[in-house]
């Protein structure tokens, strides 16, 4: 989808926004509502719209690129009515266990993650054993992870990774999400998803449960 042009001083600019969590804290929200997180939030369309659609849930988006985080924060700031159930974290997914208590998350979203196609980069794939073990520690028992991608190779890799996992069972899978009318009823599109749909590209989806 093209390279993101870096914004000068993004590191300092993002700290001016109240939706940025700047350090780990056990009390992100005080309302006791279920916590949903998106690992790799892109430009923020999905996590922002999800928070707006579901005010009784809490949402946190995790994104490591500071320029992209700044774009998300600016997007939230531009809203006429700003969601009070949303925060953003600027960090790498490998640090999730620093930010969140074990068994504190109700759902994890993995939307159009980097496929890291080279074998030597397997450990960076967000459905590798390394990350599946982290998700298992974070999720409340019986809760779900939803994974969407346009990349067939990553989809197939994720199926194999999940089949060998001791912690997860696949509850749903499809090689063309938009052919399943029931599944797309409450589907929230990401900015990448919109582009792929416009190009008539299939969207792969897997839902798996701890």
CA atoms of 45 and 59, how far apart (whole Å): 13
The model's pLDDT over 161-197, given as tens digits with 9 standing for 90+, comes to 999 999 999 999 999 999 999 999 999 999 999 999 9
pLDDT at residue 1, rounded to an integer: 45
Average pLDDT over residues 55-79: 96
pLDDT at residue 3, rounded to an integer: 57
Q: Which of 164, 159, 153 is nearest to 119 (CA)?
A: 153
Three-class secondary structure of residue 17 per DSSP: coil
114 catalytic? Reply is: yes
Exposure on the CB side of residue 53, measured as CA atoms within 13 A: 11
Contact indicator for 187, 149 with CB cutoff of 8 Å: no
Contact indicator for 5, 73 with CB cutoff of 8 Å: no
Query: Catalytic residue among 114, 133, 150, 180, which?
Result: 114
Structure pTM?
Answer: 0.94
Average pLDDT over residues 54-81: 96
One-letter-per-residue 3-state SS of 139-190: EEEEEEEEEEECCHHHHHHHHHHHHCCCCCEEEEEECCHHHCCCCCCCCCCC
The model's pLDDT over 35-59, given as tens digits with 9 standing for 90+, comes to 999 999 989 999 999 999 999 999 9
Confidence of residue 79 (pLDDT cuts 50, 70, 90): very high
Q: Answer yes or no: is pLDDT of 203 > 60.
A: yes
Q: Answer yes or no: is pLDDT of 4 > 80.
A: no
């Amino acid at each position: 989808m093209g390279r993101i042009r870096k914004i000068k001083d993004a590191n300092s600019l993002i700290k001016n926004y109240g939706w940025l969590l700047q350090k780990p804290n056990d009390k992100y929200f005080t309302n006791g509502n279920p916590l949903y997180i998106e690992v790799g939030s892109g430009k923020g369309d999905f996590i922002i719209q999800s928070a707006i659609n579901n005010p009784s849930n809490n949402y946190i988006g995790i994104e490591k690129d500071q320029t992209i985080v700044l774009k998300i924060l600016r997007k939230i700031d531009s809203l006429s009515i700003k969601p009070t159930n949303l925060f953003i974290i600027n960090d790498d997914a490998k640090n999730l266990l620093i930010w969140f208590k074990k068994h504190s998350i109700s759902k994890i979203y993995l939307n159009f993650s980097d496929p890291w196609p080279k074998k030597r980069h397997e450990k960076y794939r967000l459905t590798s054993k390394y990350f599946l073990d982290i998700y298992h520690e974070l999720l409340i028992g019986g809760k779900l992870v939803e994974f969407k991608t346009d990349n067939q190779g990553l989809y197939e890799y994720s199926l194999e990774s999940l089949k060998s996992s001791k912690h997860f069972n696949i509850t749903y899978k499809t090689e063309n999400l938009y052919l399943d009318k029931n599944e797309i009823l409450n589907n929230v599109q990401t900015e990448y998803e919109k582009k792929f749909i416009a190009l008539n590209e299939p969207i792969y989806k897997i839902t798996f449960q701890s």
